[in-house]
Structure 1
Amino acid sequence: MTAPYDPDDREKVVSKLPAQLRQELKVRAAQLNVDIKDAVTEGIEAWRSGTDHRPVDTSGGGPFATYLPTGLYAQFKNDCKARGVTYTQGLAQSVRLWLDTHPAPRRAPRPTGARRIIFGNQKGGVGKTSTAAGTAQALAELGYRTCLVDFDPQGHLTKQLGYDLLGIEDPSLAKHMLGEAKGELDELLVPIDEGSFSGRLFLLPACKDAFLLDAKLATSRHVRIKETALEKALESLEKDFDFIIVDCPPSLGYSMDTALYYSRTREGEDEGSSGVLIPVLAEDSSADAYDMLYDQIQDLSGDMDVDIFSLGFIVNMYDSRKGFIATSSLDSWKQIGDPPVIAVVPELKEQREAVRLKQPLLAYAPESEQSEAMRTIAMGITA
């Protein structure tokens, strides 16, 4: 059907769509690198070309706005009237039709293995856990199979998602690193089947004996090169995942060295495919902690003759109402330039509520500003 309108001349239209349908449209458009307004336009054109469309439950719909080519909106409303459906129902059917005919892309395994992103800073309380979890959820939402590794012995990530830490006598990541575990590491994975990332997000829980890992790495006969221990343990998982996200401890010890080494740029891998994301706060103590992390990265890079790429800063829990300290600190992070600030995550209640309820943020509050910031991070590292 030839469109009797200029696709570049658009008008804003407002309607309602169920939250799940809005979210599915947003995610699929991002997966396929398609603008939402173009996806909706294609869906409407396909809807107008056919007649056999199943009804969509639009109860509880929320506001939805987009831009349609001028003229298409009026034609579409006339078609809805002629077919005896409301404009809201017709739009929902059009979006559903576009989603059904534009499946999520299938991703081929990378020859250099899963991309490895670690979240690190030598200061606790900056939000490594929340940003690692949120980014992993956003990546899974985009269609990437993602493994979220709780590598912090405090186990906050595991607890916040509502799972128990592995017992001292149980197989664990630490035991696999030390050559003491029986069985396969993938047997420890827990699926996080919630929200729009169901089936693509898995957690490797923390273990209660991880506090002893640094001391055991220093003395273990089973680990010849301490820095490679995490990589050797996680190697078996890489064939099954697109991304492995590691929530690191606030540590300068062997554990952090193994995580940094794991995030290095491998032979044949593009710079920036893997690396370190650095959550910080808009205050001075985060800068002091970053200085220590920077020194650790430089020392390890020199000692092991590897390249460890800093992907960027995430300024977390930002609130401009805190005044000059917050705003000037944010400016200071931005002025560094390399690595860049790739996202600013606002200080809002949704993250705290999600933690309290032991739910993933992007399932509990998928349309919140914090969830959008996590998607910004995910899009930034997949671009």
Structure 2
Amino acid sequence: MASPYPSGDREKVASKLPGSLRQELKIRAAELCIDIQDAVTEAIKAWQADDGVTPVVDTTGAESYSTWLPAGLYDEFKATCHARDISYTQGLAQSVRRWLDESAGHGGEAVAGVPQRKIVANQKGGVGKTAVSAGIAQAYAEEGKRVLLVDYDPQGHLSEQLGIEQIQPGQDSLVAHMCAEGKGDLRDLLVVVEGERFGKRLQVLPACFDGFLLDARIATNNRIRRRETTLERALEPLEQDFDVIVIDCPPSLGIAMDAAIYYGRRRKNEKAGVSGVIIPVLAEDSSATAYVMLTDQIESLKEDLELDLEYLGLVVNLYDSRRGYVATSSLDQWKSLVDPPVLAVIGDLKEQREAVRQQKPLLDYAPLSGQAEAMRQIARATS
């Protein structure tokens, strides 16, 4: 559907586009300093001119999307879709996906020695923070990136699920280094996650039982001047060794969470859309309440410390439409937020639970599963 632009040279087009593609498009256009409508125009024209076979794009969950195109271009686009026997939604998704792939690397350059930092957070437990943290870390490593996965939750579910022992109280640990009591090199504590798909590029910093006292230890430590910088100071010596650092946060809103939020801020000269917060949620009302509490904390910290921190997106986890109206209407509400976008909807499937039981990485245990592909989708949208 199209309606004329006041000047007559463009027309407003209403179609559909998956949330993950919309997020990537927004970020890439900002990196290249061009209007989104111009990016979509370029994308459609290039797609129309390409006589080759374009891969099908997963448009599951595509949402309403509007932009302005040069007058007449949308009619040409629809004709091309008819000729290729595909839907308008698929045609637009293919156009945008092709443009994103071809424009990769032409935006802001990564800052030397600064890894991308993904903070996976929600103060509500049971929403799948650990599953998402582990899954996307595996997906980044599968792509060829060097990845550090930090078990920042003293409950240690991530370490346990991968068959890695937690660090005992009183030993050197991330907690000790955050409290300015580190005795050695954190590199000595890292554990390599085995699996041919990862090529020894994925390492885990295990949880520590002392983490249950982290907030109190930071609050009462007179040697710590800025509490929010404790995680960054501890991990800084490791940063040059990794391309991506994923933080699996505890379900809390305390000092430790402030430190994680601060760590995920966008640093000077760092390109948009690669560091920030990923929030796993459930399709239920209590998850919405927890989301508001977390974003209130983030916004307060951003204002107090003048942080440039991005919401990379939401992940609706353990979704099952058979649960009825509460589930389906909640999913609609998450999607209606638009910013942050829904990066993926992950079904309540058996492969993740089986991988946990076997203490194996999901992408190694069930690489072709829907859950594994969802993790790759999140990784692509946040790279």
TM-score computed with the length of structure 1 as normaliser = 0.72
The 1:9–1:158 alpha-carbon spacing in structure 2 relative to 1, beyond 3 Å, is closer
Residues of 1 paired with 2:310 and 2:321: CA distance?
30
Residues of 1 paired with 2:165 and 2:113: CA distance?
33
> Mapping of 1:208-227 within 5 angstroms?
208-227=209-228
Residues of 2 paired with 1:225 and 1:9: CA distance?
56
> Mapping of 1:281-296 within 5 angstroms?
281-296=282-297
Instruction: Kindly state the Cα deviation for residue 231 of structure 1 after the two structures are TM-superposed.
Output: 0.2
Q: Which residue of 1 aligns with 2:171?
A: 170
AA aligned opposite 1:114: P
Q: Which residue of 1 aligns with 2:136?
A: 135
Instruction: Kindly state the Cα deviation for residue 8 of structure 1 after the two structures are TM-superposed.
Output: 4.6
Structure 1 runs (4+) deviating above 4 angstroms are 7-10
AA aligned opposite 1:138: A
AA aligned opposite 2:217: K
Q: Which residue of 2 aligns with 1:145?
A: 146
AA aligned opposite 1:363: D
Q: Which residue of 2 aligns with 1:350?
A: 351
Instruction: Kindly state the Cα deviation for residue 202 of structure 1 after the two structures are TM-superposed.
Output: 0.3
Residues of 2 paired with 1:192 and 1:280: CA distance?
26
Instruction: Kindly state the Cα deviation for residue 122 of structure 1 after the two structures are TM-superposed.
Output: 1.1
Instruction: Kindly state the Cα deviation for residue 171 of structure 1 after the two structures are TM-superposed.
Output: 0.5
Matched, 1:315 2:292: no
AA aligned opposite 1:188: L
For structure 1, the residue ranges without an aligned partner over 5 or more in a row are: 1-6, 11-33, 37-104
Q: Find the residue that maps to 1:149 and give its secondary structure.
A: strand
Q: Which residue of 2 aligns with 1:326?
A: 327
The 1:369–1:224 alpha-carbon spacing in structure 2 relative to 1, beyond 3 Å, is same
For structure 2, the residue ranges without an aligned partner over 5 or more in a row are: 1-49, 57-104
Q: Which residue of 2 aligns with 1:199?
A: 200
Q: Which residue of 2 aligns with 1:263?
A: 264
Instruction: Kindly state the Cα deviation for residue 273 of structure 1 after the two structures are TM-superposed.
Output: 2.0
Mapped contact 1:231–1:262 kept (Cα < 8 A): yes
Q: Which residue of 2 aligns with 1:230?
A: 231
Mapped contact 1:177–1:232 kept (Cα < 8 A): yes
Matched, 1:378 2:376: no
Mapped contact 1:112–1:266 kept (Cα < 8 A): no
Of residues 111-120 and 225-234 in structure 1, the stretch that sits farther from structure 2 once superposed is 111-120
Q: Which residue of 2 aligns with 1:305?
A: 306
Residues of 2 paired with 1:343 and 1:281: CA distance?
12
Q: How many residues align?
A: 283
Q: Which residue of 1 aligns with 2:125?
A: 124
AA aligned opposite 2:356: V
Mapped contact 2:110–2:271 kept (Cα < 8 A): no
AA aligned opposite 2:300: D
Residues of 2 paired with 1:136 and 1:157: CA distance?
12
Q: Deviation per CA, 1:223-280, whole angstroms, max 9, x where unpaired? A: 1100000000000111010000000011110000000000001111123220000000
Instruction: Kindly state the Cα deviation for residue 325 of structure 1 after the two structures are TM-superposed.
Output: 1.1
Q: Find the residue that maps to 1:234 and give its secondary structure.
A: helix
Percent of matched pairs sharing the same residue: 56
Instruction: Kindly state the Cα deviation for residue 35 of structure 1 after the two structures are TM-superposed.
Output: 6.0
Instruction: Kindly state the Cα deviation for residue 119 of structure 1 after the two structures are TM-superposed.
Output: 0.3
Of residues 214-223 and 256-265 in structure 1, the stretch that sits farther from structure 2 once superposed is 214-223
AA aligned opposite 2:358: L
AA aligned opposite 2:224: V
Residues of 2 paired with 1:358 and 1:110: CA distance?
35
Residues of 1 paired with 2:340 and 2:195: CA distance?
33
Instruction: Kindly state the Cα deviation for residue 111 of structure 1 after the two structures are TM-superposed.
Output: 2.1
AA aligned opposite 1:360: P
Residues of 1 paired with 2:343 and 2:231: CA distance?
27
Instruction: Kindly state the Cα deviation for residue 208 of structure 1 after the two structures are TM-superposed.
Output: 1.0
Q: Find the residue that maps to 2:112 and give its secondary structure.
A: coil
Q: Deviation per CA, 1:74-106, whole angstroms, max 9, x where unpaired? A: xxxxxxxxxxxxxxxxxxxxxxxxxxxxxxx9x
Instruction: Kindly state the Cα deviation for residue 112 of structure 1 after the two structures are TM-superposed.
Output: 5.9
Q: Which has the larger radius of gyration?
A: 1
Q: Find the residue that maps to 1:148 and give its secondary structure.
A: strand
Residues of 2 paired with 1:184 and 1:112: CA distance?
18
Residues of 2 paired with 1:140 and 1:265: CA distance?
22
Mapped contact 1:148–1:245 kept (Cα < 8 A): yes
Of residues 301-310 and 243-252 in structure 1, the stretch that sits farther from structure 2 once superposed is 301-310
Mapped contact 1:147–1:201 kept (Cα < 8 A): yes
Instruction: Kindly state the Cα deviation for residue 195 of structure 1 after the two structures are TM-superposed.
Output: 3.6
The 1:9–1:118 alpha-carbon spacing in structure 2 relative to 1, beyond 3 Å, is closer
The 1:333–1:9 alpha-carbon spacing in structure 2 relative to 1, beyond 3 Å, is closer
Mapped contact 2:351–2:371 kept (Cα < 8 A): yes
Q: Find the residue that maps to 2:197 and give its secondary structure.
A: helix
Q: Deviation per CA, 1:9-48, whole angstroms, max 9, x where unpaired? A: 77xxxxxxxxxxxxxxxxxxxxxxx969xxxxxxxxxxxx
Q: Which residue of 1 aligns with 2:4?
A: none
Residues of 1 paired with 2:307 and 2:113: CA distance?
16
Residues of 2 paired with 1:348 and 1:205: CA distance?
27
The 1:178–1:368 alpha-carbon spacing in structure 2 relative to 1, beyond 3 Å, is same
Q: Deviation per CA, 1:147-186, whole angstroms, max 9, x where unpaired? A: 0000001000000000110011210000000111111111
Q: Which residue of 2 aligns with 1:78?
A: none
Residues of 2 paired with 1:290 and 1:118: CA distance?
14
Q: Deviation per CA, 1:341-362, whole angstroms, max 9, x where unpaired? A: 0111111000000001110000
AA aligned opposite 2:259: T
Residues of 2 paired with 1:110 and 1:356: CA distance?
39
Q: Find the residue that maps to 1:202 and give its secondary structure.
A: strand
Instruction: Kindly state the Cα deviation for residue 109 of structure 1 after the two structures are TM-superposed.
Output: 7.2
Matched, 1:160 2:161: yes
Q: CA RMSD in A?
A: 1.8
Q: Deviation per CA, 1:114-133, whole angstroms, max 9, x where unpaired? A: 01101001100000000000
Mapped contact 1:112–1:268 kept (Cα < 8 A): no
